[in-house]
Structure 1
Amino acid sequence: MPIFNIMVSRELGGIQQAYLDYNEALQETGYQVINISSAYALINDQLTDSIKLPTLTSWCIISKIYLRILIALYRPNVIIAHGGRAINFAAALKPKSVKLIGVAHNYSYKRLKKCDYVIVITDHLRQYMTDNGYDHDRIFQIPNMLRINLKYEESKFHDPIVIGSYGRFVKQKGYEYLLDALAILKHREYNVRLVLGGGGEDEEQLKNKSKELDINEITTFPGWIKDKKKFFAEIDIFCLPSIHEPFGIVLLEAMEYSKPIVSTKCEGPSEILDHNVDALLATVNSAEDLADKLTEFVDNPEKAKKCAKSAYSKLCSKYDIKIVSRKLGDIINKVLY
């Protein structure tokens, strides 16, 4: 039974990683997966067997025709769409008999109303969708996932201690607060460094801020992280300073690499991690509290190791792709039968 897995965004980020993970999870369930992406998607080198749509514009007529042909050719029973543009494409072209499942990766809900069903990734998103008029009975909840390939491995802090983070350089990720927190640690005379990977519209602003704070000599901007094994081997503490974070797949990656985590108490992280058990959670928009939480781990490496081990155990029990794929299979069966 064929299932279409569609994502037409060109950028890198959590939605794109989830699209790749859904391909693996659907294969775990035994379904035939037809992956469809934009010809310009930066993740195409990670999923070479996807069918590429030209997506020359936001409503590309050539892509519409091509997708209609693909639907007629493969006759999918279910289409899973990631992102608003993918939902628009699928909703306009699919026969009524084909069920459209939209994955709510963020709080943009209007296009999701075009879907027959919605998958949300957190309790908070489920409530948000319900509050905005979406039928509770057509909402399913499964978290984002990760294929776990590594065993828990305890490690010692480097000297200097290296704080790491990566993602899209946009306002909602809160990286300006991480730079402020690093400046506070420097003022407190802690011997620390920061590796801040990623890219985006705020890149120059963040680099200029590091110079203004006089932390540019202890801050590295390596660009998008392609070798995650190397990145995590170089860092001691992973920090997610987001203002808003619907989930935070990067947290799962940090958990797999056995790194202690400092995050903010925003939407997704506060559901994934328990404060003082799996991680330390700081107040949103507070560089001071972020610095305090980082200091707590720097001063207490044993606590950092204990939290990292607890987070790894939670990753294995709740977010492993083999576990989540079974939930996804159950959802598809409910939708079809």
Structure 2
Amino acid sequence: MRILNAIHSQSIGGVEQVFRDYTQALTMRGHEVALLISKNGNENYSATKIFKLKNFAQIFDFLKLLLIVISYRPKVIICHSRRLMKWMRLLKFFLPQKIFNYHTIAVNHGITFDTSLHCDFIISINRQIKDLVDKHFDQKKSFVVNNAIDISQKYQQKKFNNICPTIGIYGRIEPRKGFDVMLLAGKILQEKNQDFRFKIGGFEVSENYNLTTLKNLALQQQIIDKCNFVGVVKDKLDFFLDVDILCVPSREEPFGLVIIEGFLYSTLVIASDTDGAKLLINDQQNGLLFKNESSQDLVDKILSIINNPQNYNQICQQAYKVLQDRYSLESLSQNLQNILAKINND
């Protein structure tokens, strides 16, 4: 099947990684997958065909989209960004589906789903989002497909440093990711005379909340000497080499791709009890959950594993098994194939 996998204004992050994973998962099934991306500097992709929008003026980008669909004639257009989902309504007007014979699929990466209703089918990354969508959309055309990851690493037992653990965090530098929750936890750990190191990675999306903001917060908590700010994490394997605990203190997280990356690199994950984290982590079994926004509860969970180091590798091993069983690219590929079969028969 000829598929146009589309994203707009792509950047480093979870949505962009899922976009890449869909490309790989669909290609695994023998589909011809072309990419539609923005010409914005983040263009390191591999595909037989790559179409680029200039990301300058919406009207010109939309006109180019029309030309791409006319020339490439995809059977399915998969939209990973809200702007593209909105354009699908106009696309159907200018290029009637009965003539051009295509279907549109929206991938909901978060709880804001209104623009996805412009597409013919909707994929949500968890059950909670699907339940919200189904109140406004045909349930037979609404699906749940969990995110996945390429299992490129074998499980490798780590030697847990419970004397001075390195606690890692990375992601979009913004308030909802909870960097401040972790930094306050660092202050509490220091007051309890527990030694530790923070390894902090991330990429900036705002001038008002950035790496400098995090450094100032670390100064305020008087733990700047315990923080290693590593910037954008491009090499995940290198990042995880000396990380004992991955902290995911997000205030909201519909899935939490970073959590299964922790599973992949045999690292214990402690996450706030968001919908995404509760989907992935069975508390005390394959990771630890703490009360959302509670730095004190985060500290309690960190100390619980420090004081019981014998549980560390057992939890990490179980997390890796969960990853293999539920969140592999093969699983994603099969789920997408099942949906395409239903669409083809629609």
| TM-score normalised per structure 1 | 0.95
Match of 2:267 in 1: 259
Aligned counterparts of 1:79 and 1:300: Cα–Cα separation in 2: 50
Higher mean Cα deviation, 44-53 or 78-87?
44-53
2:12–2:203 contact (8 Å) kept in structure 1 = no
State the Cα distance separating 1:112 from its structure 2 match.
0.7
State the Cα distance separating 1:93 from its structure 2 match.
2.0
Secondary structure at 1:189's aligned position in 2? Answer: coil
Q: Calculate the aligned-residue CA RMSD, in Å.
A: 1.4
Q: Residue 172 of structure 1 is aligned with which of 159, 170, 176?
A: 176
1:297–1:117: structure 2 CA closer, same or farther, 3 Å change rule?
same
Q: Residue 149 of structure 1 is aligned with which of 140, 149, 152?
A: 152
Extract unaligned runs of 5+ from structure 2.
none
1:164–1:196 contact (8 Å) kept in structure 2 = yes
2:66–2:91 contact (8 Å) kept in structure 1 = yes
Identity %: 30
One-letter amino acid of the counterpart of residue 60, structure 2: I
Match of 2:325 in 1: 317
Extract unaligned runs of 5+ from structure 1.
none
State the Cα distance separating 1:176 from its structure 2 match.
0.6
Match of 1:195 in 2: 199
Secondary structure at 2:134's aligned position in 1? Answer: helix
Aligned counterparts of 2:46 and 2:129: Cα–Cα separation in 1: 28
Match of 1:7 in 2: 7
State the Cα distance separating 1:198 from its structure 2 match.
0.4
Secondary structure at 2:60's aligned position in 1? Answer: helix
Match of 1:33 in 2: 33
Match of 2:17 in 1: 17
- Alignment deviations for residues 310-336 of structure 1 (CA, whole Å, 9 cap, x no partner): 110000000000122011011011012
- Alignment deviations for residues 121-175 of structure 1 (CA, whole Å, 9 cap, x no partner): 11111112224x2222221111001110111110112463100010001111111
Aligned counterparts of 1:41 and 1:7: Cα–Cα separation in 2: 14
State the Cα distance separating 1:92 from its structure 2 match.
2.0
Match of 1:140 in 2: 143
Q: Residue 231 of structure 1 is aligned with which of 239, 243, 257?
A: 239
Match of 1:52 in 2: 52
Secondary structure at 1:106's aligned position in 2? Answer: coil
Aligned counterparts of 1:144 and 1:298: Cα–Cα separation in 2: 30
Aligned counterparts of 1:166 and 1:62: Cα–Cα separation in 2: 36
1:183–1:196: structure 2 CA closer, same or farther, 3 Å change rule?
same
- Alignment deviations for residues 242-279 of structure 1 (CA, whole Å, 9 cap, x no partner): 11001111111111001001001101110111111011
State the Cα distance separating 1:46 from its structure 2 match.
4.2
| TM-score normalised per structure 2 | 0.93
Aligned counterparts of 1:222 and 1:66: Cα–Cα separation in 2: 39
Match status 1:276 vs 2:296: no
Aligned counterparts of 2:244 and 2:176: Cα–Cα separation in 1: 24
- Alignment deviations for residues 272-305 of structure 1 (CA, whole Å, 9 cap, x no partner): 1111101110000100001111111222222121
Aligned counterparts of 2:120 and 2:198: Cα–Cα separation in 1: 45
